[in-house]
Amino acid sequence: MVNLGGLLDVPLVWFGLIATALFLYVLLDGFDLGVGILFPFAPSDGCRDSMMNSIAPFWDGNETWLVLSGGGLFAAFPLAYAILMPALYIPVIIMLLGLIFRGVAFEFRFKATTSRFVWDYAFHFGSIVASFMQGMILGAFVQGVQVEGRSFAGHAFDWLNAYSFMTGVALLFGYGLLGSGWLVMKTDGITQNWARRCSSYVLGYVGFFMVIVSISMPMMNAGVKELWFSAPNFFYLLPIPLVTACLFAKLWYDLHRGAQTSPFFLSAGIFLMGYLGLGISLWPWLVPFSVTFRQAAAAVESQSFLLVGTVVILPVVLAYTGFCYYLFRGKTSNEGYY
């Protein structure tokens, strides 16, 4: 039996890995979901073709990060998986159905002729539904989950309230920001100009929602308030809101300066800051506010066994993902389909 327990803090390593995988999912599928959200608002069919083509080589690779987050949670923290999935039964299923529609719309759109508009809408609404549900899941998650013993003890609709609705809308704008940043980088001409306008339009909303979440989280939970606003934590954590504010300012400036690639990476930076803020607030809960990541961890020999393969395979996968993005770098034109 492999047991790395003596060498390193295996549950902590897994917590870091899954947090990273989930962030990569949010970032990568975020931009292609964002493209789907913005899809029908593009000025022409030609623009829509180049939008589709800009994400065609990447979408299924991006979506596998969701499978890794879900599968990884099951493998490394089965208790958290077993509590969260029933608690979020309805939004998780609706999210999956949304992802199905948009995923196949990718493939079918290029094959369809007369029915293309059907798949355009399937792509758009699938993206919206999946994104909105992910936002609602986030909102329900930060409000905490009712647990008894080793299972979910709440009701089927505990996840549904005004707060989770707000976070759902917030994530739509957030993904819209990532998607428009991506399009500024990958397209040119009218598509790019339009994407640039979209980006500065949604930027204000993203800022607004980030402020609301930042204020409401400490108000809803005394522990979170204590963590952020007691000395000396306050000063250690101060860089997070400050850096976020700088990123917003820089993004606004770059969009109006006509920058090509920086808007996407600045948007990604804003997501990273938001993710860090949430992560710090919820530490060390994996099922807020009842089960910590240590309590939810699988047996150390199980975590070790999977870790051995992961440290070998994950760098290869990351390198390959990078290679894929490198291979299809540069601007996407709008002629032809795959």
In the region spanning residues 24 to 63, those forming contacts with other proteins, defined by CB under 8 A, are: 49-50, 52-54, 56-58, 60-61, 63
Residues in contact with other proteins, shown as a per-residue x/- string from 77 to 96 under the rule CB under 8 A? -xx-xxxxxx-xxx-xxx-x
Residues in the chain: 338
From CA 126, how far away is CA 129, in angstroms rounded? Answer: 5
Question: Would you say 28 and 67 are in contact if contact means Cβ atoms under 8 Å apart?
Answer: no
Question: Would you say 191 and 210 are in contact if contact means Cβ atoms under 8 Å apart?
Answer: no
Contact stretch for other proteins (CB under 8 A) within 70-78, 168-176, 195-203, 221-229? 70-78
Q: Give yes or no for residue 152 binding other proteins (CB under 8 A).
A: yes
Nearer to other proteins (CB atom), residue 104 or residue 280: 104
| Least distance (Å) between residue 284 CB and other proteins | 19
From CA 68, how far away is CA 18, in angstroms rounded? Answer: 8
Contact stretch for other proteins (CB under 8 A) within 40-48, 102-110, 191-199, 244-252? 102-110
Pairing relation of β-strands 151-152 and 147-148?
antiparallel
Can you tell me whether residue 286 is helix, strand or coil? strand
Closest CA to 187 of 310, 2, 79, 44: 44
Q: Give yes or no for residue 116 binding other proteins (CB under 8 A).
A: no
Q: Give yes or no for residue 290 binding other proteins (CB under 8 A).
A: no
Q: What is the DSSP letter of 292?
A: E
List 4, 19, 27, 97, residue binding other proteins (CB under 8 A) = 97
List 40, 43, 111, 245, residue binding other proteins (CB under 8 A) = 111
Burial class (CB in 10 A: 0-12, 13-18, 19+), 84: buried
| Least distance (Å) between residue 53 CB and other proteins | 3
Nearer to other proteins (CB atom), residue 8 or residue 100: 100
